[in-house]
Amino acid sequence: MINQKGAGEGEEDNSSSSPFVDDQEKKEEILTIIDNLADGLMVFNKEGKLSLINPAAQKIFELKKEILGKSIVEFSNFPNLKNLFYLLGKEIKEVFRKELEITKNLILEITSLPLLKEEKKLGSLIILHDITREKIVERMKTEFVSISAHQLRTPLSEIKWTLETLAKEKLGKLTKEQKEILEKAYDSNKRMLILVDDLLDVVKIEEGRRLYKLTFSNLEEVIQSVIESYQEKIKEKQIKFEFRVSSKKLPKIKIDVEKMSLVIQNLLDNAIRYNLPGGMITITLNSTEKEIEFSIEDSGIGIPEDQQQNVFEKFFRGSNAVKMETEGNGLGLFIVKNIIEAHNGKIWFQSKEGKGTTFYFKLPLK
């Protein structure tokens, strides 16, 4: 382990003057533990110089002794360390589990925090967790989903076209029973196509391809267009629906219209799907000087409190939603969250089981 310069070389022996551990035996025990940690550790002293690096960190960055005593600014001169400097900056800012790609085959999760003693900063600690294997597996899964979804889409589209042709009686008259069977097959095929499209959206998100055509647009018009496409479903379920818009003219906002439409579709679809007949949905849109605020409130089944932390995860469906036997694949809110965050926005919700749910999001005007 590299933890100090040799005292025999005329250098100061830092091992006996540690500001963190006074007892020599305890210090040696701690250094032994640090030596054997799987995660990499780097310690900078109050002057901002690297004073300790454990074997795991050495191995990760393929480093030798010459790195000791260097400031983080000097890391920019080392090919494997420059990205770490760009992430943390010369002041070594605090970060928590920040993903950092060092090379194509080395991805780290970085945590940086100050070392304090009686509220006085004595240095900084950087923890390096190698997540390369997990990321490679994740990448392989994404590629598999992408290939599978694309391969499924073509035959499903052909099946859809065939079912439409038959249902429209272009190949001959059908009996009532035959039409009913075709309608069921068509609905099943449609659900499969929706799932495939959602999977492809997830792949784009995980590959970092979330927004394509950013233009200054009227968000109210985007929302109104989505609402119109859901009028039939709203009437079928006898839902009391209201769209409240600020009396003042809302400013245009830079958005990807297609993706933002997808956000509204998913939120409105959930509000209808998990509502009860005769229920209520209220969409509210207004703005401040800095942002546009959106909310959609429903009087539906709500989300169980013990499951709310998982709402924006892939494939999440509340236990009460599953019991209702409603359609859904649990990808909608994952997609919604990523699209909002790609617009530098924020999304959150409030919910009470049996009482309803309200989703909110804010988008910056600049």
Whether 283 and 295 have beta carbons less than 8 Å apart is answered as: yes
Q: What's the number of CA atoms in the CB half-sphere (13 Å) around residue 58?
A: 16
Query: Long-range contacts: 134-143, Cβ < 8 Å, 24+?
Result: 135/107, 138/206, 142/203, 142/206, 142/207
Q: How far is CA 263 from CA 138, 172, 331, in A?
A: 25, 41, 12
Task: Tell me: pLDDT of 8 over 50.
Answer: no
Percent of the chain with pLDDT over 70: 91
CATH number, residue 38: 3.30.450.20
Judge whether residue 200 has pLDDT over 50. Answer: yes
Kindly state whether residue 1 falls inside one of the protein's structural domains: no
Tokens of 297: 């409130």
Q: Give yes or no: residues 222 and 338 share one domain.
A: yes
Q: Looking at the structure, tell me whether residues 239 and 352 fall in a common domain.
A: yes
Q: Please indicate, yes or no, whether residues 70 and 169 belong to a single structural domain of this protein.
A: no
Question: What pLDDT, on a 0 to 100 scale, did the predictor assign at position 356?
Answer: 94
Q: Which has the higher per-residue pLDDT, 249 or 19?
A: 249
Residue where a domain stops, chosen among 130, 163, 193: 130
Averaged over 233-258, what is the pLDDT?
A: 90
For position 211, what pLDDT does the model report? 67
Q: Are residues 331 and 222 in the same domain?
A: yes
pLDDT for position 226: 95
Query: 319 in a domain, yes or no?
Result: yes
- Measured in degrees and rounded to the nearest 5, phi and psi for residue 103 equal -140, 180
More confident residue, 211 or 365: 365
Residues 38-66: pLDDT tens digits? Answer: 899 999 998 899 999 999 999 888 887 67
Q: Which domain holds residue 153?
A: 135-206
Asked whether residue 2 is domain-assigned, the answer is no
- Torsion angle defined by CA atoms of residues 180, 184, 185 and 191, in that order, rounded to the nearest 10 degrees: 160
Place of tokens 């090379």: 103
Structure tokens belonging to residue 309: 């932390």
List the 291-298 sheet strands across, edge first: 240-245, 280-287, 291-298, 356-364, 346-352
The pLDDT assigned to 199 comes to 82
User: Tens digits of per-residue pLDDT, 119-152?
Assistant: 888 899 999 999 998 888 877 877 787 788 888 8
pLDDT at 7 over 60: no
CA-angle at 83, arms to 124 and 211, nearest 5°: 115
Residue scoring higher pLDDT (167 or 265): 265
* Last residue of one domain, picked from the residues 176, 206, 236: 206
Residue 152 and residue 195 in one domain: yes
78 and 146 co-located in one domain: no
Q: Which residues pair with 338 in a beta bridge?
A: none
pLDDT at residue 21, as a whole number: 54
Q: What percent of the chain has pLDDT over 90?
A: 43
* Residue 360 falls inside a structural domain: yes
What pLDDT is recorded for position 40? 92
**Residue 40: inside a domain, yes or no?**
yes
Taking Cα atoms as reference points, which of 240, 257, 212, 244 lies closest to residue 363? 257
Residue 213: left if φ>0, alpha if ψ -120 to 50, beta else—which one?
beta
141 and 40 assigned to the same domain: no
Domain boundary among 130, 158, 191: 130
Reduced 3-state DSSP string for the chain = CECCCCHHHCCCCHHHCCCCCCCHHHHHHHHHHHHCCCCEEEEEECCCEEEEECHHHHHHHCCCHHHCCCEHHHHHHCCCCHHHHHHHCCCCCCEEEEEEEEECCEEEEEEEEEEEECCEEEEEEEEEEECHHHHHHHHHHHHHHHHHHHHHHHHHHHHHHHHHHHHCCCCCCCCHHHHHHHHHHHHHHHHHHHHHHHHHHHHHHHCCCCCCCEEEECHHHHHHHHHHHCHHHHHHCCCEEEEEECCCCCCCEEEEHHHHHHHHHHHHHHHHHCCCCCCEEEEEEEECCCEEEEEEEECCCCCCHHHHHHCCCCCCCCHHHHHCCCCCCCCHHHHHHHHHHHCCCEEEEEEECCCEEEEEEEEECC
Same domain, 244 and 198: no
pLDDT of residue 209: 66
| pLDDT, tens digit (0-9, with 9 covering 90-100), for 277-324 | 999 999 999 998 899 999 999 999 999 999 999 999 888 888 888 777
Q: CA 107 → CA 99, 117, 188, 204, 335, distances in Å?
A: 7, 32, 41, 20, 24
Asked whether residue 88 is assigned to any structural domain, the reply reads yes
Structural domain count of the chain: 3
Residue 323: alpha-carbon gap to chain centroid = 27
State whether 190 and 231 are in the same domain.
no
Distance, in Å, from the CA atom of 61 to the CA atom of 108, rounded to the nearest integer, reads 11
* Whether 300 and 315 share a structural domain: yes
